[in-house]
Each structure stands twice: as structure tokens, then as C-alpha cells.
Chains A and B, each alone.
Chain A
């Protein structure tokens, strides 16, 4: 009959061709995510250089399938050549302000895959809690988690996350933020944090990691030795944001150290002193690192392959920061306009969409240093009861 729908030809097979599979490896910053999708009468072909591109292509393919009123599944003839603009497309989850059960993280990874995100930035510990079960320092989570049995990530949990992510072409970059944001580390690591002083006496309150003790650097070395093995990605996020100097300033031993080192009253120099040693430790473990922008802003000496994470948002100042970071030759990641935890009424997705990461003054070489960005879902007001509808 003449009026038969033109999709009478059933397509039963999608051929997937990958020139260099590497299915057993982990995705990285240089992974090839490009793919070609050819849908025509009688043949459907997905081809990619690497498995990671095949995954992206499968995602697209699955989104092209429609269903008509009779329940028939169909797909339009299509020719797609696709590849990402930015190689680092990330999402940050905060499991310290509120614990997120494993299923919430895995579900998030699924939805990340639907949206072709390829980095899960796991801000795993912070001031409020330390849910990461460390084999080297079990006391950290025992004393620092909200609940040592129910609100922790065991080694097995972490492995599950990493593998679940890998199968979706998603890198897992863990952040162990120091020297600030470390209150929860204190109970399980006595002597690690700086005791704050009220005049001549300790006040009983603690501040950032104590940068003047050798024990600090021994601890940090051992912890990051473990973290480097547990997390296979080349990069670790080392934090370095929002270090409050008040406690350091109150501590007489630290003041003495400042004098000794000739730092004067410039506590940024003390912060740099710590960070530089931390960076050296992490480098010697064979890892690259990402740091929050303060580390760059405070003139810490960085390795040329450091990635700077731009997060401070103050009337579009972040574009200026992007320019500064890239002009200094460092790679940059943008998060400042994408703090999705800052909810507001109405269609605020349009603000996030309108951001143009390269809209700053700079040479093409500079702009090529922008690796991508990350949407951040900080956890002060987020837990499993509202994570999904808030994020997506």
C-alpha cells in the first residue's frame, strides 16, 4: 500500500566500531570522546576512536529513539559527528556537610552519563564530617564521621563508585581539602590541627592543619600515599581554599615559627609553606593536582601542570580570574557561575546556560588552557532527600 509509514524497515542492530578499545583502562583528561553515528535505512553504525567516544555515542543513540502513538519505537535517519568542546566536564558532590548514601552517588553518576559529564569531583571530607574510611588511619572516620558505622564510605564503597563511574567514562577525582576545612580530621588525628589560643592559654578550639610540625608532614605523606593508591585518576584535588589565619595568629609557637622563617606578619607565606610541601609530597607520589584559586591568588609556587579551580563569584570577577590564571600559564577549571547549591526561584538554568567560559581577554593560547568546568552541589542544605531534584 502507498501510505505505509517509511519506517517499515526494522533496524535490529547497532554496529559499534572502536578503533582502539582500551576497555580495561580508566578515562583521563586526554581520553578521546569523539564519535560518529550513522543511522540510515538498513544500517546503524556507531564508530569511535576509543571506548569513551563509543559511550558518548551510545548515550546519544539512546536519546534519539522515539515512540509513536502505536507504541512503535523508531529512529530518524541521522548523521552525527560529535565531540566535546571541553575535556573536563565535572560535577562536585559534597559528602561531608551531609552524608550521601552510596545509591545517591551511583544514581548521580547515571544522570551525569545522560548528560555526558566525565568527571566526578568527590569533595569527600570537610569540617563537619570525615566519612572516608582510611586503612592507614581508621580513627579518622571512627572519630570524625557523623556515625562510624552508618555514615562512612568503606574501601569497597569507594571501589564501587570508581568502577560504576569508569563504566560510564567518568573519572573520579577525590578532594582531600587542606589545610583549612579540616575540623573533622582533628578527633581522629590528635596533634594534626593547630590549637587556637586565647592569650597565653589554649582555648580548646582548633584551626587549620598545623603547618609547623614535622608530624603533620609525616601524616600527610602517609594519608596521600593511601589516597593515591585508592583513587586511580592521575589527578587529586588538594583544596587549599578559605584558610582562616586567625587561629594560626593566636598560636605562640606559630608566631615564633613565622619569625624564624622571616615571614613577618604575612600568613599567606605560611599557607604557601604548607601547600608547597604538600604539592611536593603529592608529586612525588606520581599524581597531578588541582587546587582552588586561593592557592594561585596567594602566590604559592606551583608546578606548571597545576590546574587552578576558579570558584569565587563576585559580579563576574571570575572572568578576570580566568584571564589571570591562564595568563600565568596555568590550566583552569571554571565553577564560579555554576554553584548549583545556590537555588533561586524560577528558571535559573538559563543563567548557567548563558555562561561563556572563554569570555575573557586573552590570547588563543591562553584560552586553550581552559580545560572545562564543574557544576558544584555543596551540601550545607542538601542530602539524599533533595539532591536529585535540586541538581537536575
Chain B
């Protein structure tokens, strides 16, 4: 695909050799790619500890790309393809260069939401290409939510049968495998998010008794709230469900959500109230939430998967595993939250300033670019716990008709912030490069 990126879209003449005089100019005929590790990783999936560093030397007649693992080679190929530019008269040029590059942050992600609006496979794959152009290495797939359940589960087919927008707006196991492999070939991890106990309205359609029935006084109202945390059947279901998820998604991490749990329904349900009393939780429903979350964390841990959670799970004092990753998303005083999370010894991923679904008029990429993730009070050790960030494109107002122009090239600003050194901050310089980069991406 890199050959296509470099030479394929020339409208001035494809692969034409210039006039004879061109032979007198220094010519680059080969890019040699060397991957040094004994096990380069070509058959494995990328992970948080993957080595993405590379060394690129462009001289004539042969250029060298050296990386320790294949993941670094991919990043280097991306850079090399961006160095090749068209000269006049249909020739392709590349400047003599010496590049030693590696990412500042190891977790550089994009969140896509396929529940508020279904995104056809093509959209997702195109987006993975764009992510690779910008050296993103995590696709955070917020695959289900209140509005729809497009994930076709093998153990629980009713979930998508009853919960998807329609029978053709689903992701079959084949679709999911395709996304994971397409991502893998670009050095991109796929971290699925099955957000519970809130954001689960669509789960209730295909799984009876999973959600909490809300009450008005003594009568059920007919509507449902978050996942019911007091029933054993809930945990039986979750154990089986996450067993499937753990085997379908090869990444070491699963995102368990845990955000925005509305306690109103729980508070209205007499059996839940009884349970609260029995457990000695008083009227603190955050404790009930944590009780639920802890059980899920245990379940998922037993399948040898690490967990990512939204910040509320930490804020409400659930007992997390030491390697749980906390995603900070609330915009209000997020620096303070980063201090708290890392201060408590947990790794953090930053999304709060990068909600790209919040569009606004003009060059808003500048405000994304100007974020300095480590600008929070904390020790050196704490700051090491901030492993990266994610640009989020929530789907309330996004579908295949507007995804690409809405996400890109604004997300490129986030991509550079997460890869490049902290001193690469000049907006005018970034503007010049970003405009070129955008045209290249087109």
C-alpha cells in the first residue's frame, strides 16, 4: 500500500521516467527495511509495550529503514511515504534525510462510536487508514451503547437480533475479525468497549432481566435502568459474555466503561433498596456501582485481560486492579483528575480536551494541538503513568455521511501531540505541515 501512497495518485504521469538527463541525478532505487528483533512480531498483535521506534536514512542509491520490531518499521514506512513528493515533470523526489524517531506516548487512540449511529465496515477501515497516516495505534471501539447493539454475539445472538437498529446494521464475527486484522497490519490495537452498567438500554432488548426494572412506588413503570447489580444471573451472563469477548478480541485490554451511571432507577427498585440495606451500603449508590464494577473487573481479570475504565469508576472509589487504565474524559478540571489518578498509582489515558465530536467554527485544531498532557501537578513518577490519550468522536451527530471530514484532519493535531516531543508546539509551523498532510491524506 505504501507504493500506492507514494506513486499511485499522480495525475501528472505515473511512474514515468524523466528525460535522459534525469539519469545523471542521484537516484534512489531501493528502501531496505531491516527489523532487528529475533521475533519481529509480524504474526502477533501490537500491544502497549510494542517498540515503535525506527531509524531512517535516506541516501543514494539505497535508503535504510531500521527498526527493532515490525511496529517501528510500519511507522518508518509511513514517514518515508510522506517524504516522497512529486517534482515537476512527473518525477518523484525525496530529500537526503537522517531520522531517529519514536513516540512520546505509547497509547495514541481514536474512539469511534458505532452505537449512536451504525458505521459500515468501509467507514471503519477508511478510518484505520487515516489513523495509520497519523501514527495512531489504538482503535477504541465503543461498539454498543443505549441506542443500539450491533455486535453479533456468538453466545447471545438475541442481543443484536433484538438490539441492533436492524438486521443488516450489525457486525458479524467475520466483520470483527476483518477490523482487527486490518488494524493489526497497520500496527493498530483494537480495544473494544462494552460499557456497563450504564449505557445499556439496547442490551435489555435481547437479554431479559439483565436491566433493572424501574418503579413508581410499588409498581414497575415498564422502563429499565442500568444493569441489575443484585442478581446472580447478571454475573452469570457477564461471565459468559466476557468470556466470548476475551477470545474474540486479541488485545490484552478490554474497556469496561462504567461512566454516567444514573442511580434514579436503582433507587426506585425495592429489591435493590433491600440489597443496599443488606450490604450495609446505606444510601450511597456509588458503593453499589463499585460493587458491580469490582465483580466485572474480577470476571475479566480471570480471563487474563487488563481493563480500561472511564474515570467515574476511579472517582467512585471502586477497587481497581493495579494495572487498570483510567480514561479521563470530564473536561472540568481534568488536570486535577490526572493528578488524582496517577497520584493513586494508576495509569491514565487523556481524552477530556479531545472530544472531537464537539465541532465549532474555524480552526479548532489549534486548541487540540495546544494541549500539553503532562500539565498537571505531579511527580516525575506520576507523569510516567500518563500513557497517552484518545481523540473521541462520539456518534450522536455522526454517521458514514460525515465521519471522515468531521474527524480529519482535526484528529491529526492530536496525533502529533501524542507522538512528537513536547517542544513541538509552534502553531504556524504545524499549520504549514498540516495543510500539506491533509492534501496527502486525500
B442 in complex: contacting residue of A381, A385, A389, A390, CB < 8 Å = A385
In contact, A346 and B397 (Cβ under 8 angstroms): yes
In contact, A345 and B359 (Cβ under 8 angstroms): yes
Q: Give complex CA distance A390, B406 in Å.
A: 9
**B222 proximal to A (CB < 8 A):** no
A385 contact set on B, CB distance < 8 A: 404-405, 442
Flag B394-409 by CB within 8 Å of A: 1 or 0 each.
Answer: 0001000110111000
B360 in complex: contacting residue of A344, A347, A389, CB < 8 Å = A344
In contact, A345 and B405 (Cβ under 8 angstroms): no
**B16 proximal to A (CB < 8 A):** no
In contact, A345 and B402 (Cβ under 8 angstroms): no
A346 contact set on B, CB distance < 8 A: 397
In contact, B442 and A343 (Cβ under 8 angstroms): no
Q: Give complex CA distance A345, B393 in Å.
A: 12
**A317 proximal to B (CB < 8 A):** no
In contact, A345 and B362 (Cβ under 8 angstroms): no
Interface size on B, residues (CB 8 A): 14
Q: Give complex CA distance A61, B442 in Å.
A: 39
Which residue of A is nearest B404, CB measured?
A385
Q: Give complex CA distance A346, B406 in Å.
A: 13
Interface size on A, residues (CB 8 A): 13
In contact, B361 and A389 (Cβ under 8 angstroms): no
| Minimum Cβ distance to chain A for residue B385 (Å) | 31
**A9 proximal to B (CB < 8 A):** no
In contact, A381 and B401 (Cβ under 8 angstroms): no
A390 contact set on B, CB distance < 8 A: 402, 405
**B2 proximal to A (CB < 8 A):** no
| Minimum Cβ distance to chain B for residue A310 (Å) | 20
Q: Give complex CA distance A385, B397 in Å.
A: 18
Flag A372-392 by CB within 8 Å of B: 1 or 0 each.
Answer: 000000000100011011100
Q: Give complex CA distance A347, B362 in Å.
A: 18
**B181 proximal to A (CB < 8 A):** no
Interfacial residues of chain B within 326-363, with CB under 8 A of chain A in the complex: 357-363
In contact, A343 and B360 (Cβ under 8 angstroms): yes
In contact, A389 and B402 (Cβ under 8 angstroms): yes
In contact, B405 and A386 (Cβ under 8 angstroms): yes
Which residue of A is nearest B361, CB measured?
A342
Q: Give complex CA distance A345, B364 in Å.
A: 12
Most buried by A among B358, B362, B363, B405: B405
Q: Give complex CA distance A390, B397 in Å.
A: 12
Interfacial residues of chain B within 368-405, with CB under 8 A of chain A in the complex: 397, 401-402, 404-405
**A341 proximal to B (CB < 8 A):** yes
In contact, B361 and A341 (Cβ under 8 angstroms): yes
Most buried by B among A346, A388, A389: A389
In contact, B358 and A345 (Cβ under 8 angstroms): yes
In contact, A344 and B361 (Cβ under 8 angstroms): yes
Interfacial residues of chain A within 2-61, with CB under 8 A of chain B in the complex: none
Which residue of A is nearest B402, CB measured?
A389
B358 contact set on A, CB distance < 8 A: 345
| Minimum Cβ distance to chain B for residue A377 (Å) | 12
| Minimum Cβ distance to chain A for residue B439 (Å) | 10
Flag A332-356 by CB within 8 Å of B: 1 or 0 each.
Answer: 0000000001111111000000000
10 A-B residue pairings within 8 Å (CB atoms): A343-B360, A345-B357, A345-B359, A381-B362, A385-B442, A386-B402, A386-B405, A389-B401, A389-B402, A390-B402
CB-CB nearest 6 A-B residue pairs = A389-B402, A386-B405, A342-B361, A345-B358, A389-B401, A385-B405
List 7 other contacts, CB 8 Å, given A342-B361, A344-B359.
A343-B360, A345-B358, A347-B397, A381-B362, A385-B442, A389-B402, A390-B402
Chain A positions near chain B (C-beta within 8 angstroms) = 341-347, 381, 385-386, 388-390
